[in-house]
Amino acid sequence: MTDSTLRYTGIVQPQEGEQDATGQLISPYFPEPELVEIVNLAIYLGRPLLLKGEPGCGKTQLAQNVAYELKLPLETWYIKSTSRARDGLYIYDAVGRLRDAQLASSDRLTAGELERLSDPNAYIRWQPLGRAFQNSQCTVVLIDEIDKADIDFPNDLLLELDEQRFFVEELEVAGAAREIRARVSPIVIITSNDEKDLPDAFLRRCLFHYVRFPSQERLVKIVQAHLATASQEPSPQLVEVATQRFCELRQAMQDQGTIGKKISTSELIDWVRVLNQHPTDEAIAMLDGKLPYAGVLLKNWDDHIRYLKQDILHE
């Protein structure tokens, strides 16, 4: 079972320049109350939490923030189109063992290498979920963008996520595959960009939350927090005006039914950073009805054409 005494608040924020155990900078995170509540329900029930929402709404960063506040280790499993369920548990170096066996047959291994060859455990490399199961401390596990994988991938994880155990076929105990059971149930956070439907059997085992894109007020807080460590922190006036212009652009793209990539929080942060190269008054004047440095925000040529025409009309 997950430690039911753990409780996430979303209030604890990292100090300037603080890093996690992997050396990655920890960014401030401002979750909505509904998201905080569902995280705590997932901890209490010991169920995976499935997060959906458009790219850039903060799904991935939640896991890092939960691990930071609760002072827990974080394991991250980035899913690719070629990922298999076992890849998150362990990797068995069959090629390495075959090579060692061939060398042993020609008497080219040392005594230590021969001892390694007789130990199948030496060829096992534990992966994020496998390490989390064997950790005596509760671990936060992020399974990022599960919808990138094959449609069968989520169903291949049902045993691991539901019963908190898996089998290592290459390791035998009394003639059977070795079973690994979770010492402490991890806090599993799974993200999806909704690129494909997930199986019902998988969904039944998860709690679900749709992460809404931040409001303008929250975007201002996010930008100010992210750029507070910059050598030239932008003025509150510039952040307010740029964020308002950003929200107007998102709304216009939505109203016009633009099918290109939606602009996200990370692009807003980059945009404000670029605008901040100019004096505040000059940068704010550049935003008056126009869209300077459009290439930072718009990643679709049709959008570029549409808003370039708007800029010309404003001249």
- Cα first-last separation, the chain: 63
Threshold 0.75, pTM exceeds: yes
Residue 144, beta-bridge partner list? 78
Question: Contact at 8 Å (CB) between 65 and 74?
Answer: no
Chain mean position to CA 177? 32
What is the distance between the alpha carbons of residues 249 and 230, in angstroms, rounded to a whole number?
26
Please give the Cα distance from 163 to 302 (Å, whole number).
48
Asked if 53 and 211 count as a contact pair (C-beta separation under 8 A), the reply is yes
Longest dimension (CA), the chain: 81
- Strand, coil or helix: 119: coil
On whether the CB atoms of residues 264 and 248 are closer than 8 A, the answer is: no
3-state helix, strand, coil in the chain (%, to 5): 45, 15, 40
Q: Read off the DSSP letter of residue 62.
A: H
**Residue-level pLDDT, tens digit, the chain, 315 residues:** 556 689 999 999 887 778 776 777 788 899 999 999 999 999 999 999 999 988 878 899 999 999 999 999 999 999 999 999 999 999 988 777 777 766 665 666 566 666 666 677 778 999 999 999 999 999 999 999 999 999 889 999 999 999 999 999 888 765 667 899 999 999 999 999 888 889 999 999 999 999 999 999 999 999 998 888 656 789 999 999 999 999 988 888 877 765 567 888 999 999 999 999 999 999 999 998 788 998 998 888 777 777 665 553 344
> Tokens 């898996």 appear where?
166
pLDDT digits (tens, 9 = 90+) for 167-225: 998 887 656 678 999 999 999 999 998 888 899 999 999 999 999 999 999 999 999 98
Calculate what percentage of the chain has a pLDDT beyond 70. Answer: 86
